[in-house]
Amino acid sequence: MRAANILHLGVKELRSLLGDPMLLTLIVYAFSFEVYSAAKAMPETLHKAPIAIVDEDRSQLSIRIADAFIAPHFNPPAMITRTEMDRRMDAGLDTFAINIPPNFQRDVLAGRSPAIQLNVDATRMSQAFTGSGYIQSIITTETSAFLQGHRADTVATVALNLRARFNPELNQFWFGSVMQIINSVTMLSIILTGAALIREREHGTVEHLLVMPVTPFEIMAAKVWAMALVVLTTTACSLTLVVQGLLRVPIEGSVTLFLVGTALHLFATTSLGIFLGTIARSMPQFGLLMMLVLLPLQILSGSTTPRESMPDAVQWIMLAAPNTHFVILAQAILYRGAGLAVVWPQLISLALIGSLLFSLSLARFRKTITTMV
């Protein structure tokens, strides 16, 4: 009868979720609009950056450099005077301002290596960091091409044959869309299970369950499988309809293997949601706990920045977090087409972490129920 109890209690959780329009709206939003906006926003990408040029040389080379700044990375350059440069930067009209000095072309042809001044609005941090490298590359490329037509003694350069694997078009939204799904899986699985437990306490239905012939294990297992099923289903729909369909992001590996890893990850995160739900006494408290737990999990898991750039201590500590292994698994399968022979360590790690979190949450849940009796 225990399997039947778990089944019926899980169906009850699904019916309760269908009666909560706010949570349903959150689920739909997280796996549709949020995935699309995270892919298209691309805050780390240089896109239509405003740039101004002070051309004091008025030479063929300076005009060639100015014409090289084109969309989509830059807006058409505003040709301004030196007196306008500081005023426009102060007003926030330009992120970049280039000052080409007089006699620039003549000095380049004479081999004197003249300097071009680049002013950057560093308050726009992502554009400032990326754009400076773009501008330096553009100026170097245009100057070298100009010299090849005017000087025979130009220094030979080494050609770089770029091969971008796993993302040959270097599209940023390929990365953003999949990573947003990963973050939504972690976030919603914790929220749904924790909210389900707190809702039982606030509505007084926990007392009804205590007088029924069910055990704490059955109650908790029902919440875990029901909420995990919801998140797993919406994950598959988002990956198919939004990522592959609307955004046209190619998936290299097996979606089935990815969903198996997602199921193991949900086993761990839903158990964590139950644990947090036993600590919090109300939804506002649960929201504060989510801020303390969810943000470090997502930021330090490797979904935002590479784990190798973090301190060694943080890398070791985050190996105890389930979404660290889930990020490694998802990137390997969806981006690089990895199979079971590659991701089996992550699958085992998720199973072990999930079992530990389930045991701890069950012990805490039993203790909480005992105090309510």
**Percentages of the chain per state (helix, strand, coil), in multiples of 5:** 70, 5, 25
pLDDT score, position 156:
43
Query: Residue range 304-332: average pLDDT?
Result: 87
Give me the amino acid identity at 47. Answer: H
**Could you give the C-alpha distances from 298 to 25, 243, 305, 318, 358, in angstroms and in order?**
22, 20, 10, 10, 20
**Neighbour tally for 75: CB within 10 Å:** 17
**Neighbour tally for 78: CB within 10 Å:** 15
182 pLDDT higher than 60: yes
Specify the domain boundaries for CATH 3.40.1710.10 within the chain.
Answer: 51-148
pLDDT score, position 158:
45
Q: Report d(CA 302, CA 43) in Å as an integer.
A: 18
Query: pTM to 2 decimals?
Result: 0.76
**Which residues, including other chains, have CB under 8 Å from residue 72's CB and lie 6 or more apart?**
47, 48
How does 21-51 read in b/e, with b if 16+ C-beta sit within 10 Å?
Answer: eebeebbeebbbebbbebbeeeeebbbebbb
363-372: pLDDT as tens digits? 998 887 766 5
331-359: pLDDT as tens digits? 889 888 888 999 999 999 999 999 999 99
Three-class DSSP category at 343: helix
Dihedral of alpha carbons 268, 270, 275, 280, sign: positive
Is domain 51-148 annotated with CATH 3.40.50.720? no
pLDDT score, position 340:
92
- Cα 217 versus chain centre, distance: 34
319 pLDDT higher than 60: yes
Grade residue 271 by pLDDT with cuts at 50, 70 and 90.
very high
